[in-house]
Structure 1
């Protein structure tokens, strides 16, 4: 059974000194108290905890499922129709309400830890620096997710200790990004190169996040350079492509060399993810996919990305299916024929004890992210250079089951692509590589391909009104913020 990081729920309690709470002045001071490295580490784990809470409905469910269903090639079917209808989901204020609460809980814990580390005099600088790095990483990534989903949000960089701190105006997008970059730059210098605790941030994770952030901002030279730092130092960080997709997505392994930063889940009741169960159908257990199946949407084979997917690409069979073996008999998977005709099979855990115990981790960054970020950014900066080709072709060679460092006529992109053609190939490759990982929507938005990709699908599906071209690409702020923050306008 996968090793589990048991995240504590008592982080705030650990960070509050009873003695200080009983003092009249100042009434709202919170301190770490006389912590040793062990109890500090437990507190740091508490900062991560909201992101991996099995019932937290964040990346592994609301975002992991919802954002994936917003990909042009996916549809939520009868039970999750709103996620496929962009205008409905974008204009409903509470589509991402649960994620908002969870993100700001993690941000709040990070802020409290940062504040109290600055006041603490008992811990060594080295111990404090690592804790700082993890807190800044979590805060920075949470805001990176938030700014891409909602645009302007309240930029809370100090602990909320009383009701007067709740009212905070929305910050401009550029100010939020400046804060995110500042946090990640600090994290890359403060964090260790490696960790023996899967699911904890490292310097390589912070550098990869920075490369991704720069790519989103269109700062291509910076994105290329930061990705190259990770590529050039992959031995230092312990990164590389795993030859086997089954290893990368194993529900039982604690980590692998491709794992840069992922949210960790375990085959333990209420300590797992839901993804395997969400995508599977009612025959999930018998078919060997999951302990149960919710049939929360599927994949549209007529979508241009999927229709043009080479059958020899191992990722296609690994990630999509329309049949399975049950007692040696080929059996058709359950689909909603006029809406979608493929199931998404990247997440599999037939040994989970319950649907809240699927052990599949949810990746925020893999080493393939670094290679594809570099390929895209290098091409945007210098055109389709040999270095850009080499980066993307490594990912493609793994997908075709051939050695990643040896040129292969079947796997490699054709030579002589123009800058525009190469850019299209990177966008396509990211679609194949990250299917099921909730990245496609963000890629569609940042590359200004939303209308193009959705129109391409609408031209071939039976009910194009299910996936209308959206009239905006950010979500409405949830009621929980509007009702509690009078300045959130």
Structure 2
């Protein structure tokens, strides 16, 4: 529920909660902030903006909800874990028997609206702060616009029509509104991203490394337009990202997923994580994937590994021979461990002995669920794939997708190869979707890709998906609090 605490007094939360990244993270307590004394200085504006980022790294986004919805609900993976009732909330998604009380779908809704509430307050209050640099003011507003668009994009893709709130409510009546048509929500997303692109710089460095940039806004705008089926606009925005001249593919696919390369040359935007500051929580400052996806009981992570998010056999079998992304993305039987052991042929929850490897960092500290590895929200490789899908098997589209493919096979990125797709490649749209599947595996895109391309019901038929499962249930606690919220059909 979006309460008055989440919206009308979001400035309190902005001062009390931490920011999002290791570069611009403020973890000092600030217990004297009040509504009367906040939003007076440039520091206040920056702290409030940092708080808009903070929900990205929590359980309502990348630390819990999105890997359940984006991957386990898709054909990429299944629940795994210890079997039986372990991970019951993930099993509901996996089996498309989703209750309106499901914790993951509930947290996605709540986390997005907390972030939206904070963004609304920044956008409303920061312009009135006189004691700050005009450049910082513009940046803070642009960051809030970008993040509000990102949260709404997740909501509208998952639930369809959702309440559109763009100013801090001043009464409960302004919170308890009905769902807004999805087309109108998308219009606001596009508007926010266009304005964010105008407000943000191409890059930020030093203590501000990791903040949203012009490239992040343009890249997300390209993805939004592709989702809406507006291919011409998607292509235009993808070209604008490329024209910035800021981004390059790593020669080695694995370099995208190394702590030392965070916010690197291929990164448009990523969730910032740090280790050593949280224990058993989805809402700390570290990423839980190292522990939750680690090979179950093998002792490679602080708690031994929980073995969730297990790659489907069909997904693993789909890798082309020589695709170097496979060994970066999955554990397979016989793979060597850092401690000298190897991946067994069978593990609890993984009868074929597979596991999700992409987010493995090992025992980075004595803490628990606290991997320092950032999570990429947008990579330059995806911009090429968006462009390829948008323009089809034209010379431009073929070169875009082939850059990604060449890298996947360890070939020079700018040189034509035997691995290239050609104008004669059959079913080019299918080829692009397949390339997205393996390039972006376990980056929480697959379910959304199947949905936007109209393939969800066909591809997931073996998982007993039902037609109404193209939308998630509106959380029951939200409907209990807001009598104007209707439920999606089937739930």
TM-score, normalised to structure 1, is: 0.85
Q: Is 1:17 the counterpart of 2:25 in the alignment?
A: no
Deviation of residue 124 (structure 1)?
Answer: 4.0
1:70 is matched with 73
Q: Is 1:318 the counterpart of 2:322 in the alignment?
A: no
Q: 1:438-482: per-residue Cα shift (whole Å, max 9, x none)?
A: 100000000011122224xx3xxxxxxxx1123221111112321
2:230 is matched with 219
Judging changes above 3 Å, is the alpha-carbon distance between structure 1 residues 83 and 388 closer, same or farther for their aligned structure 2 residues? farther
Pick from 477, 483, 487: which aligns with 1:486?
483
1:243 and 1:15 map into 2 onto residues whose CA distance is: 50
Deviation of residue 281 (structure 1)?
Answer: 2.2
Tell me, yes or no, if the aligned pair for 1:155 and 1:176 is still in contact at 8 Å.
Answer: yes
Judging changes above 3 Å, is the alpha-carbon distance between structure 1 residues 312 and 90 closer, same or farther for their aligned structure 2 residues? farther
2:465 is matched with 469
Q: 1:13-42: per-residue Cα shift (whole Å, max 9, x none)?
A: 858324xxxxxxxxxxxx622x03x34222
* Aligned ranges 1:170-185 → 2 under 5 Å: 170-185=179-194
Q: 1:381-402: per-residue Cα shift (whole Å, max 9, x none)?
A: xxx1111110000011111111
1:344 and 1:394 map into 2 onto residues whose CA distance is: 25
Q: Is 1:244 the counterpart of 2:252 in the alignment?
A: yes
Pick from 186, 195, 218: which aligns with 1:186?
195
Deviation of residue 149 (structure 1)?
Answer: 0.8
2:102 and 2:292 map into 1 onto residues whose CA distance is: 24
2:96 is paired with a residue whose SS is helix
Tell me, yes or no, if the aligned pair for 2:76 and 2:441 is still in contact at 8 Å.
Answer: no
Q: Is 1:42 the counterpart of 2:39 in the alignment?
A: no
2:10 is matched with none
Deviation of residue 251 (structure 1)?
Answer: 2.9
Deviation of residue 95 (structure 1)?
Answer: 4.0
Q: 1:177-218: per-residue Cα shift (whole Å, max 9, x none)?
A: 011111111000000110112331000000001000000000
1:262 is paired with a residue whose SS is strand
2:354 is matched with 342
Question: Aligned-pair RMSD on alpha carbons?
Answer: 2.4
Tell me, yes or no, if the aligned pair for 1:204 and 1:260 is still in contact at 8 Å.
Answer: yes
2:109 and 2:188 map into 1 onto residues whose CA distance is: 18
1:462 is matched with none
1:297 is paired with a residue whose SS is strand
Q: 1:317-349: per-residue Cα shift (whole Å, max 9, x none)?
A: 111122333554544154357865421111111
2:198 and 2:162 map into 1 onto residues whose CA distance is: 27
Tell me, yes or no, if the aligned pair for 2:142 and 2:196 is still in contact at 8 Å.
Answer: yes
2:272 is matched with 264
2:448 and 2:31 map into 1 onto residues whose CA distance is: 33
Aligned residues: 448
Q: 1:327-385: per-residue Cα shift (whole Å, max 9, x none)?
A: 54544154357865421111111142233211121111000110000000011xxxx11
Deviation of residue 229 (structure 1)?
Answer: 0.9
2:378 and 2:30 map into 1 onto residues whose CA distance is: 26
Deviation of residue 170 (structure 1)?
Answer: 0.8
Tell me, yes or no, if the aligned pair for 2:100 and 2:476 is still in contact at 8 Å.
Answer: no
* Aligned ranges 1:278-427 → 2 under 5 Å: 278-286=292-300, 292-301=304-313, 303=314, 305-323=315-333, 324-326=335-337, 328-332=340-344, 334-335=346-347, 341-353=353-365, 354-379=367-392, 384-409=393-418, 411-418=419-426, 421-427=427-433
1:313 and 1:334 map into 2 onto residues whose CA distance is: 24
Pick from 133, 136, 149: which aligns with 2:142?
133
2:12 is matched with none
1:451 and 1:340 map into 2 onto residues whose CA distance is: 26
2:72 and 2:212 map into 1 onto residues whose CA distance is: 28
2:382 and 2:32 map into 1 onto residues whose CA distance is: 37
1:243 is paired with a residue whose SS is coil
Judging changes above 3 Å, is the alpha-carbon distance between structure 1 residues 146 and 11 closer, same or farther for their aligned structure 2 residues? farther
2:133 and 2:259 map into 1 onto residues whose CA distance is: 37
- Which stretch shifts more, 188-197 or 57-66? 57-66
1:128 and 1:194 map into 2 onto residues whose CA distance is: 16
1:441 and 1:90 map into 2 onto residues whose CA distance is: 18
Judging changes above 3 Å, is the alpha-carbon distance between structure 1 residues 329 and 449 closer, same or farther for their aligned structure 2 residues? same
Deviation of residue 92 (structure 1)?
Answer: 5.2
Gaps of 5+ in 1: 19-30, 459-466
Gaps of 5+ in 2: 1-20, 279-284, 487-491
1:451 is paired with a residue whose SS is helix
2:459 is matched with 453
Q: Is 1:146 the counterpart of 2:155 in the alignment?
A: yes
Deviation of residue 412 (structure 1)?
Answer: 1.4
2:173 and 2:50 map into 1 onto residues whose CA distance is: 28
Tell me, yes or no, if the aligned pair for 2:307 and 2:349 is still in contact at 8 Å.
Answer: no
1:275 is matched with 289
Q: 1:409-438: per-residue Cα shift (whole Å, max 9, x none)?
A: 1x21244125xx111100000000011111
1:321 and 1:265 map into 2 onto residues whose CA distance is: 23
